[in-house]
Amino acid sequence: MRPQERKVLFVGAGAIGASVAAWIAPYHQGLYIMDIGEVQEALKTKGITVYQIDQPDKSRVTLRIKTIDRVEELPDVDIIILGVKNYVLPAVAEILKKSLGDRPIIVSLANGTENQIILPRYFSKVIYGVVSYNARRDQPAVVGYQKKGSLFIGTPDNTLMDELKLVKVILGTGCETIIVDHLQDAVHSKIVINLTNALDTLVGRGYCPVSNFTVYQKLLLQTLWEGVRTIKAAGYKEFKMAGLPSFLLLRLGAAMPGWVSQPIFKHKIKSMVISSMTQDILQRGSGVSEIDSLTGYMVRLAEEHRVQAPYNQTIYRLAKENFGPDFQPMRCEDVLAAVEKTKQTMG
């Protein structure tokens, strides 16, 4: 069977799932998508609308993709692409395994490492993807993105090469897709960048003006540099991805006086979209987020390898104490003051 004849199902139409599905749809007739609630209703009635954030009028396009309400409607699906986050992954995997068994190839596009623990419990053919572009969901099935791709796909032990090549061909019709042989380096390099999410949610960046931009800059750069030092101590190497800051740039930013790096920093910040965690906690009033699989994971990794990480420890603690339906953003100055108290306890 040729790649274009394979049946592909996207489960989850958030910012990443919807954008990737929309990019592939014009080139793959056997493409299906499903979600739940208002998102599923939007998929059925309006289709998916995607646009490039810096040129919305020129790039906006709406596509109708075949939808299903239950996975049992597609028993012969060949590839399932999971655009859901790790905190709902066990429930989704349970449904898929019960309905479809172990036949399909599973591709997870979630951030973090938890999917590498969860999915092998259910499936034998699992591929993991690292997403190197930013996107935001404006409303159900309406997504803005900074640029197309890239997607990096692989397996922890570099197996399933035939399956990887098949997935690359299909995803590659819509955006650049690259097979990697150092998956964990790519995963952990992306987790470093994803540390931005918890801080942004805590201070409301993208949701409301931050209280003090200079303090925010210090918080973010130190948080990311702690992440770099932590994954290096754990034995992971930098995996460079276009559009994401290099470790060298993060080191220089953390070491430079704020007034020196602020013009560059402000330029970079303008291109950052509102994080999915900020949307979950502040816009949708959810009490559930990726805080444990991103910042929480980094804090645990730092403790394991004896790396002092007061910024991430403090952000994680504040998030765990405060994130919920009634959460309101904190002042950057208060977050920094809490970091200083954490430093004092470390001696």
Whether 202 contacts 318, CB under 8 Å: yes
| Closest listed residue to residue 106, CA positions, set 97, 236, 114, 297 | 97
266 pLDDT band, cuts 50/70/90, is: low
* 3-state DSSP of the chain: CCHHHCCEEEECCCHHHHHHHHHHHHHCCCEEEECCHHHHHHHHHCCEEEEECCCHHHHCEEECCEECCCHHHCCCCCEEEECCCHHHHHHHHHHHHHHHCCCCEEEECCCCCHHHHHHHHCCCCEEEEEECCCEEEEECCEEEECCCCCEEEECCCCCCHHHHHHHHHHHCCCCCEEECCCHHHHHHHHHHHHHHHHHHHHHCCCCCCCCCHHHHHHHHHHHHHHHHHHHHHCCCCCCCCCCCCCHHHHHHHHHCCHHHHHHHHHHHHHCCCCCHHHHHHHHCCCCCCCCHHHHHHHHHHHHHCCCCCHHHHHHHHHHHHHCCCCCCCCCHHHHHHHHHHHHHHHC
Same domain as 200, residue 171: no
Are 22 and 166 contained in the same domain? yes
Residue 225 shares a structural domain with residue 330: yes
Whether residue 170 sits in one domain with residue 239: no
Same domain (yes/no): 149, 12: yes
177 shares its domain with 190? no
Per-residue model confidence as pLDDT tens digits over 125-156: 999 999 999 899 999 999 999 888 799 999 99
- pLDDT tens digit sequence for 67-125: 999 999 999 999 999 999 999 999 999 999 999 999 999 999 999 999 999 999 999 99
pLDDT single digits (tens) 2-54: 888 899 999 999 999 999 999 999 999 999 999 999 999 999 999 999 999 98
Given 125, 147, 181, the domain boundary residue is 181
Q: Are residues 308 and 239 part of one domain?
A: yes
How many domains is the chain partitioned into structurally?
Answer: 2
58/120 same-domain check: yes
The CATH number given to whatever domain includes residue 40 is 3.40.50.720
146 lies in the same domain as 211 = no
Cα separations in angstroms, 97 against 33, 72, 104, 166: 17, 11, 10, 21
Query: Residue 105 — left, alpha, or beta (φ > 0 → left; ψ -120 to 50 → alpha)?
Result: beta
Show which of 181, 202, 228 is a domain's final residue. Answer: 181
Domain, as residue range, for 60: 3-181
CATH code for position 339: 1.10.1040.10
Confidence category of residue 222, pLDDT binned at 50, 70, 90:
very high
* pLDDT tens digit sequence for 316-335: 999 999 998 889 999 999 99
- Give yes or no: residues 139 and 196 share one domain: no
pLDDT at 191: 97
Global confidence as pTM: 0.93
Instruction: Tell me, yes or no, whether 22 and 122 share the same domain.
Output: yes
Residue type, 327: F
Specify the higher pLDDT residue, 251 or 98.
98
The domain boundary, picked from 131, 162, 181, lies at 181
Q: 252 and 319: one domain?
A: yes
